[in-house]
Amino acid sequence: MNDIAAPVPAATILMLRNGPTGLEVFMVVRHHQIDFASGALVFPGGKVADGDDEVRDRCTGASDNDTEFALQVGAIREAFEECGILLARQADSETLISSVRLAELEHYRKPLAKSELKIGEFLKKENLTLACDQLHHYAHWITPETMPKRFDTYFYLAEAPADHVAIHDGHESVDSIWISPNAAIEGAKSGKYTIIFPTRLNIAMLAESSSVAEAIEMANQREIVTVLPWAEIRDDGRYLCIPKNAGYVASEEKLEGRPA
């Protein structure tokens, strides 16, 4: 029997805004050469990096749990790297940084993404604090034990600052879009978008809300159930299953084209 790969801690943010027709979420298209979810429409995010757990004195509203704290930092850092939105404040301010200040920080995205610069060095140099208080825990998924590469991923909701312009990095992600949850779901059904199972279910849950405030309120009230999918072989084929009490619109999906 093959050894089960240990899941790597990771975090992602569903960056939200109230668009002309209602709730919208920012999503990026993964580069086709990326080894996980290549070509798929996903939320910005990635694995926790070295140094993410060393900046507690540069954070506001961070979790007391050290593991969750590193995930919060990783989520904010990854969002900055992948979509250019930074949930941060000047150390002496109570308001999030402006678009003008954000533009001054743009050149840090690439060295952070390449691990040439740690988040702590960046925050100290620019006298910034991360706004962990803007994150709302939304979901927790762990990649199935049968997969060779696994992630232990925390999903967060956050409202995008109104004057921050989100744009993909052109490296890990090659395109981006603000999209309503229902449009993303319909796009996945029609084949317009490639959206993997966990992303689709989290989008479907988001579609139950009509505004940013409602989505955040629902997330804060919901019990977060850890989802570790498993496969079941039945008479009519193979199914991917998740706990029924996780709160999603579906708890299983038939794996088309795969033999039983």
Domain boundaries, the chain: 8-228, 229-260
For domain 8-228, the CATH architecture is Alpha-Beta Complex (3.90)
Between the alpha carbon of residue 143 and those of residues 36, 75, 220, 230, the distances in Å are 11, 18, 24, 9
State how beta strands 173-179 and 226-227 pair: unpaired
pLDDT attached to residue 258: 45
Mean pLDDT of 34-41: 55
pLDDT attached to residue 214: 98
| pLDDT at residue 129 tops 70 | yes
Residue 25's closest CA among 34, 33, 35, 15? Answer: 15
Q: What does the pLDDT look like over 201-258, one tens digit per residue?
A: 999 999 999 999 999 999 999 999 999 999 999 988 999 999 999 999 999 999 875 4
**The model's pTM:** 0.90
Q: What does the pLDDT look like over 84-124, one tens digit per residue?
A: 999 999 999 999 999 999 999 999 999 999 999 999 999 99
Mean pLDDT of 41-63: 95
Instruction: Please state, for a pLDDT cut of 70, what percent of the chain lies above it.
Output: 91
Q: What is the CA radius of gyration of the chain?
A: 18
